[in-house]
C-alpha cells in the first residue's frame, strides 16, 4: 500500500460532526482504495470452509497494512479516539475452532507470501448473539452487516449460477482482501435470487434435526462447493482454455472438514460437462483434493440421506454412487477385506446414506488431523482401513494461531515488552520468540511482565463491568475457560470443582490466593444439555458472588456474547488456561495456543495440542492432570463406574447432589435433573458420565489448588508464564501454513517463495 498517500488523504478527511460508524466506513474505504490484490501465480491453493470466524477487521487490517499507529495518531489530532470503533463489527461467520483456524490460516497465508485463496459463504446473519436471561442462554440474530461492510468488494461480473433440481441460485462473490507479504483474497458467496434461494445464505449451521433442516444444510454445502469449483475452473480456463492437463498440478483444494466435500463430485460433474470422459475427470479429482479432519465427535460426521440428495442434486448423487462403486472395485483389487471395504465405503446401504468423510478420504491425496494425538486417532479408528492400505496419504499438521492478531493486537503491552527484549522481528518470524528464554532469569523483566498482566486484567475487568454489570477487585489470579459449550470439553467439571472450592472455603477447609474463574461459551441453540450447563454455571456464579464471606477470595463470571473481540481481551489477561477435555476428545484446541502465547500456563488434560504445548514448554511449567486417552479407552470398553469414583471423596457426592437437591433452581425446566441422570444412569445412547468427569475431578481440583499455591510466589509463577511464551514458536499459524504449503499443497518453499510477489 502507498502509506504516504493514504496518510495524506486521511489527514485531509474531515471528522467533525461524523459519528463512529460513518468515520469507520470512510477510513476503511480509504484504506481499501490504496491496496490491490497480488497477481495470482500459476500454482495456488484454495481453502474451502463453511466457517470463517474473522472477528473485527478494522484494527487488524490497519495493523497488517502497517498504518495502525499512524492512523491512531492522525485521528487523535482530529480529537478522535481510535478506540471508538470497538463496538462496530465482529464478523462471526463461524462458530468455533474450525472457523477461527480458517481465519488464522488466511492471515498466515498472506503474511508468509503463500498464494492461498479462501472460499466461503457470506451469511446474511453471523453466529447468533447470546444474552442471559435469569441465567438461561437466549439467542438473537447477528445482523453483522448493519454498519456496512467496507472491507468487502462485490464482484458482480464474477457471479455464477448454482443449479439445484428445483431451483437456481445466484452466487455473487464478495472479496475480502487479506493483507501481508501478499494480498490474498477471501471470497465469500452471497446467495441471491428467489426467496428460497436467499434462504441458503441466511444463517450458519441451520438446525438439521428435521428433513427441511437437512435439505438446507445440503444446499448450503453444495452452494459453496459448486461456486468455488466453478471459480477455480474459470480462473484456470483463462490460462489454459479447455486443456485440463495442468489443472491438478496448478491447483490444490483443501477441504476444511467435510462441509465442502460436495466439491469432489461437483468437480467431476463440471469436467464431464466440459466433455471429459468420466475416467479422466475422476483421475483429476483424485489429484486435486486434500482433506483435514477436525473432530471425531460422531454427531459431526456428516452422512447425507441418499433420497434427499437424489431429489435436489440427482447428478451429484449419481456421481457419488459411481465413486462408491469404483472405490470398491479398486479397493477390492488392492486387497481390502470385506470389513475394510464397508468401513471405508462412500455409500452405506444399511442407512441409505453417503459418508462425506469417506468421500473426502477417497478423493484426497493427503489427509491430516490437527494435532499429533488426533492424527494418530483418526489413523487407527475412523480411517483405519484406508490407513492400512495407504499410509502415505496420512500426515499431521498441528494447528497454529496468528501471533499478529493474538499477541501483537490482543496484547499491546506484552508486545511492547517483547520488542524491548528481542526486537520486532517475531511478527514475521515467530521462531524468534524463543529468544525470550534468555530473559526468564531476569527479575526485572518478569516484574514488567506481571505489571502488563495486571494492566490487562484491569482492562478486561472494566470491559466486563460495562458488558455484564459485574465488578471485580484487582489483584486476582485469573482462571479462564472459554470455548464452545460441549459436554466433552467438560465445563461442567470446572463448575463442580469451583463449587467444591466454594464449599471448602466456606467451611475453612482450604485457603487460597484470591481468584476469579471466568467462563465464556455459546451453546448450539438446540443442544439442551449444554444449555443446562450454562444455566447451572450461572447459578453457581450467583451463589459465589453473592456471598460476602468468601467474596474476598473467590468470585466467578460467565461472560455473555463471547466472541473474537472478547477472546482478545481474555487471553491477554488470564493467568491460567483451563483445557480440560476428556483425553482423546479435543482434536487440537487453538485457544490453548492463544493463552500460551500471552503467558498463561495450561491447566489441563493430556489431550489435543495440550500435549505438544507441554512437550515444548516443559511439564514444570504446566499443570497436567487426569487420565490419558488410553486409560479412558479401556474404561470405555467396560468397567467405568462413576459412582465408585464419587465414593472415594464424599465432597463430590455433595457437589453432584446440588443438581437435584434444590440448592439451585433450573426454573422448572428439568435441565438439572437431566444432567444429573446423564452422569449417574446415562441415557439410551450413552453410558453414565460418558466424558469421565468423576475419573478426573479429584486430580483436577488438586491441580487448581496447586497452581493457586504456586501463584503465591508471583515471580516464580511469572517465570512459568514467561517460559510458555518463549516456547510458543511452534504454535504460530505461519509455521502451520508453511507445512501445508510444503507437505500438502506442494506450492512454495520454506518461505513460500514461489508465491511471494509482494503486496
Q: Which residues does the annotation mark as catalytic?
A: 294, 483-484, 489, 590, 594
Comparing CB distances to ligand 26V, the nearer of 486 and 738 is 486
- Tell me whether strands 303-305 and 353-355 are parallel, antiparallel or unpaired: antiparallel
Q: 452 or 632, CB closer to ligand 26V?
A: 632
Applying the rule CB under 6 A, the residues between 9 and 38 that interact with ligand 26V are none
Residue 399 engages ligand 26V in binding (rule: CB under 6 A) = yes
Distance CA 310, CA 319 (A): 11
Q: How far is the CB of 733 from ligand 26V (least distance, A)?
A: 11
Nearest to 98 by CA among 214, 205, 252: 205
Residue whose cell numbers read 497436567: 624
Residue number of the CB closest to ligand 26V reads 97
Q: How far is the CB of 263 from ligand 26V (least distance, A)?
A: 17
- Using DSSP, state whether 109 is helix, strand or coil: helix
Q: How far is the CB of 296 from ligand 26V (least distance, A)?
A: 9
Distances (CA, A) of 585 to 142, 292, 629: 30, 16, 8
Shortest Cβ 451–ligand 26V spacing (Å): 32
Residues 355-384 that bind ligand 26V (CB under 6 A): 370
**Residue of 295, 481, 491, 602 interacting with ligand 26V (CB under 6 A):** 295
Minimum CB distance to ligand 26V, residue 371 (Å): 8
Stretch of 150-158, 222-230, 291-299, 701-709 lying at the interface with ligand 26V (CB under 6 A): 291-299
Smaller CB separation from ligand 26V, 230 or 591: 591
CA distance 349 to 359: 15
In the bound complex, what is the minimum distance in angstroms from residue 144's beta carbon to ligand 26V? 18
For strands 251-256 and 289-292, give the pairing: parallel
Among 729, 252, 274, 693, which Cα is nearest to 495's?
A: 693
121 binds ligand 26V (CB under 6 A): no
Identify the CA nearest to 569 among candidates 433, 453, 434, 474: 453
- The pairs formed by 336-344 with CB atoms below 8 angstroms and a separation of 24 or more are 336/385, 336/389, 339/385, 340/384, 340/385, 340/388, 340/389, 341/385, 343/384, 343/385, 344/383, 344/385, 344/386
Binding-residue total with ligand 26V (CB under 6 A):
19
Q: Which of 182, 187, 214, 294 binds ligand 26V (CB under 6 A)?
A: 294
Question: CB within 8 A of 442, min separation 6: which ones?
Answer: none
Per-residue binding letters, 578-617, with ligand 26V (x by CB under 6 A): --------xxxxx-----------------x---------
Site string for ligand 26V, 539-578 (x = CB under 6 A): ----------------------------------------
30 vs 101 by CB, closer to ligand 26V = 101
Nearer Cβ to ligand 26V (98/267):
98
Q: Binding pattern to ligand 26V, positions 76-95, x when CB under 6 A? A: -------------------x
Nearest approach in angstroms of CB 98 to ligand 26V is 3
What are the phi and psi torsion angles at 153 (to 5°)? -125, 125
Cell of 639: 468397567
DSSP string for residues in 193-239: SSHHHHHTTSBSS---SSHHHHHHHHHHHHHHHHHHHHHHHHHHHHH
User: Among 30, 98, 576, 578, which residue interacts with ligand 26V (rule: CB under 6 A)?
Assistant: 98
What is the rounded radius of gyration, in angstroms, for the C-alpha atoms of the chain?
A: 26
Nearer to ligand 26V (CB atom), residue 295 or residue 491: 295
- Is 217 a binder of ligand 26V (CB under 6 A)? no
CB 253 within 8 A of CB 263: yes
Q: How many residues does the chain have?
A: 759
| Cβ 287 to ligand 26V shortest distance, Å | 25
What's the 3-state SS for 265-306? HHHHHHHHHCCCCHHHHHHHHHHHEEEECCCCCHHHCCEEEH
Mask: binding to ligand 26V, 307-346, rule CB under 6 A, as x and -? ----------------------------------------
Question: Rounded to the nearest whole angstrom, what is the least distance from the CB of residue 375 to ligand 26V in the complex?
Answer: 11
Q: Which is nearer to ligand 26V, 282 or 533 (CB)?
A: 533
Q: By C-beta, is 75 or 530 nearer to ligand 26V?
A: 530
Q: Residue 284: how many CA atoms within 13 Å on its side-chain side?
A: 26
CA–CA separation, 172 and 156 (whole Å) = 6
Q: Give 588 or 621: the residue with its C-beta nearer to ligand 26V.
A: 588
Closest CA to 56 of 84, 22, 16, 97: 84
Q: In the complex, what is the shortest distance from the CB of residue 293 to ligand 26V, in angstroms, rounded to a whole number? A: 9
Q: Does 112 bind ligand 26V (CB under 6 A)?
A: no
530 versus 659: smaller Cβ distance to ligand 26V = 530
96 part of the interface to ligand 26V, by CB under 6 A? yes
Note every long-range contact of 133-136, with CB atoms under 8 Å and residues 24 or more positions apart, other chains counting.
Answer: 134/667, 135/534, 135/535, 135/538, 135/539, 135/542, 136/531, 136/534, 136/535, 136/538, 136/667
Residues 524-543 that bind ligand 26V (CB under 6 A): 524
Which residue of 20, 35, 170, 300 would you call a contact of ligand 26V, by CB under 6 A? Answer: 300
Which listed residue (52, 128, 205, 461) binds ligand 26V by CB under 6 A? Answer: 205
The residues that touch ligand 26V, with contacts defined as CB under 6 A, are 95-98, 101, 205, 294-295, 299-300, 370, 399, 524, 586-590, 608
Amino acid at each position: 500500500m502507498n502509506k504516504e498517500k493514504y496518510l495524506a488523504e486521511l489527514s485531509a478527511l474531515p471528522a467533525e460532526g461524523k459519528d463512529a460508524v460513518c468515520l469507520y466506513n470512510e477510513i476503511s474505504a480509504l484504506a481499501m482504495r490504496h491496496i490491490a490484490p497480488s497477481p495470482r501465480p500459476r500454482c495456488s491453493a484454495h481453502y474451502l470452509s463453511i466457517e470463517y470466524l474473522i472477528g473485527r477487521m478494522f484494527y487488524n487490517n490497519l495493523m497488517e497494512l502497517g498504518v495502525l499507529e499512524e492512523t491512531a495518531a492522525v485521528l487523535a489530532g482530529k480529537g478522535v479516539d481510535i478506540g471508538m470503533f470497538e463496538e462496530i463489527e465482529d464478523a462471526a461467520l463461524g462458530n468455533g475452532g474450525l472457523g477461527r483456524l480458517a481465519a488464522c490460516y488466511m492471515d498466515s497465508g498472506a503474511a508468509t507470501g503463500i498464494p492461498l485463496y479462501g472460499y466461503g459463504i457470506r451469511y446474511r446473519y453471523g453466529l447468533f448473539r447470546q444474552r442471559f436471561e435469569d441465567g438461561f442462554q437466549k439467542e438473537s440474530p447477528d445482523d453483522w452487516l448493519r454498519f456496512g461492510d467496507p472491507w468487502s468488494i462485490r464482484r458482480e461480473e464474477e457471479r455464477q449460477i448454482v443449479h439445484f433440481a428445483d431451483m437456481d441460485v445466484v452466487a455473487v462473490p464478495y472479496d475480502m482482501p487479506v493483507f501481508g507479504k501478499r494480498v490474498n483474497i477471501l471470497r465469500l458467496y452471497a446467495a441471491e435470487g428467489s426467496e428460497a434461494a436467499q434462504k441458503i445464505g441466511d444463517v450458519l449451521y441451520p438446525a438439521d434435526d428435521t428433513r427441511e433442516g437437512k435439505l438446507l444444510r445440503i444446499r448450503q454445502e453444495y452452494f459453496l462447493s459448486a461456486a468455488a469449483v466453478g471459480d477455480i475452473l474459470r480462473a484456470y480456463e483463462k490460462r489454459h482454455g479447455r486443456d485440463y492437463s495442468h489443472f491438478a498440478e496448478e491447483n490444490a483444494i483443501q477441504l476444511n472438514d467435510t462441509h465442502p466435500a460436495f466439491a469432489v463430485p461437483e468437480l467431476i460433474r463440471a469436467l464431464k460437462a466440459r466433455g471429459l470422459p468420466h475416467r479422466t475427470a475422476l483421475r483429476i479429482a483424485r489429484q486435486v483434493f486434500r482433506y483435514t479432519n477436525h473432530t471425531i465427535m460422531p454427531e459431526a460426521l456428516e452422512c447425507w440421506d441418499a433420497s434427499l440428495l437424489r431429489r435436489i442434486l440427482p447428478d451429484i448423487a449419481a456421481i457419488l454412487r459411481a465413486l462408491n462403486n469404483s472405490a470398491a472395485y479398486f479397493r477390492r483389487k488392492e486387497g481390502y477385506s470385506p470389513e475394510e471395504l464397508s468401513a471405508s465405503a462412500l455409500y452405506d446401504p444399511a442407512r441409505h446414506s453417503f459418508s462425506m468423510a469417506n468421500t473426502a478420504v477417497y478423493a484426497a491425496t493427503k489427509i491430516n488431523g490437527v494435532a499429533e494425538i488426533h492424527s494418530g486417532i483418526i489413523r487407527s479408528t475412523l480411517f483405519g482401513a484406508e490407513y492400512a492400505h495407504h499410509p502415505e496419504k496420512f500426515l499431521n499438521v498441528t494447528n497454529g494461531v496468528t501471533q499478529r492478531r493474538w499477541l501483537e493486537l490482543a496484547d499491546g503491552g506484552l508486545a511492547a515488552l517483547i520488542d524491548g527484549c528481542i526486537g520486532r522481528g517475531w511478527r514475521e518470524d515467530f521462531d524468534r520468540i524463543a529468544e525470550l528464554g534468555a530473559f526468564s532469569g531476569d527479575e526485572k523483566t518478569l516484574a514488567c511482565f506481571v505489571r502488563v498482566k495486571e494492566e490487562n486484567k484491569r482492562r478486561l475487568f472494566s470491559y466486563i463491568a460495562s458488558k455484564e454489570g459485574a465488578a471485580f477487585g484487582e489483584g486476582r489470579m485469573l482462571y479462564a475457560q472459554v470455548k464452545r459449550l460441549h459436554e466433552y470439553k467438560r465445563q461442567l467439571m470446572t463448575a463442580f470443582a469451583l463449587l467444591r472450592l466454594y464449599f471448602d472455603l466456606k467451611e475453612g477447609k482450604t485457603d487460597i490466593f484470591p481468584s476469579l474463574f471466568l467462563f465464556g461459551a455459546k451453546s448450539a441453540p438446540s443442544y439442551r444439555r449444554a444449555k443446562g450447563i450454562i444455566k447451572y454455571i450461572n447459578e453457581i456464579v450467583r451463589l459465589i458472588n453473592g456471598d460476602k464471606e468468601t467474596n474476598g477470595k473467590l468470585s466467578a463470571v460467565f461472560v455473555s456474547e463471547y466472541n473474537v473481540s472478547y477472546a482478545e481481551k481474555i487471553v491477554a489477561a488470564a493467568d491460567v488456561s483451563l483445557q480440560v477435555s476428556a483425553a482423546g476428545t479435543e482434536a487440537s484446541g487453538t485457544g490453548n495456543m492463544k493463552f500460551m502465547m500471552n503467558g498463561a500456563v495450561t491447566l489441563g488434560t493430556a489431550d489435543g495440542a495440550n500435549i505438544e504445548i507441554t512437550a515444548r514448554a516443559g511439564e514444570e511449567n504446566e499443570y497436567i492432570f487426569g487420565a490419558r486417552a488410553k486409560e479412558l479407552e479401556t474404561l470405555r470398553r467396560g468397567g467405568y463406574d462413576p459412582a465408585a469414583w464419587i465414593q472415594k471423596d464424599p465432597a463430590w457426592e455433595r457437589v453432584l447432589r446440588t443438581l437435584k437437591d434444590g440448592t439451585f433452581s433450573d426454573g422448572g425446566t428439568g435441565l438439572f435433573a437431566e444432567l444429573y441422570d446423564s452422569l449417574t444412569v446415562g441415557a439410551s445412547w450413552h453410558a453414565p458420565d460418558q466424558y469421565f468427569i468423576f475419573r478426573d475431578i479429584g486430580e483436577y481440583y488438586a491441580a487448581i489448588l496447586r497452581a493457586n499455591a504456586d501463584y503465591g510466589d508471583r515471580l516464580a509463577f511469572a517465570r512459568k508464564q514467561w517460559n510458555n511464551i518463549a516456547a510458543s514458536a511452534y504454535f504460530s499459524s505461519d509455521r502451520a501454513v508453511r507445512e501445508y504449503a510444503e507437505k500438502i499443497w506442494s506450492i512454495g518453499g520454506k518461505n513460500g517463495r514461489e508465491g511471494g510477489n509482494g503486496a
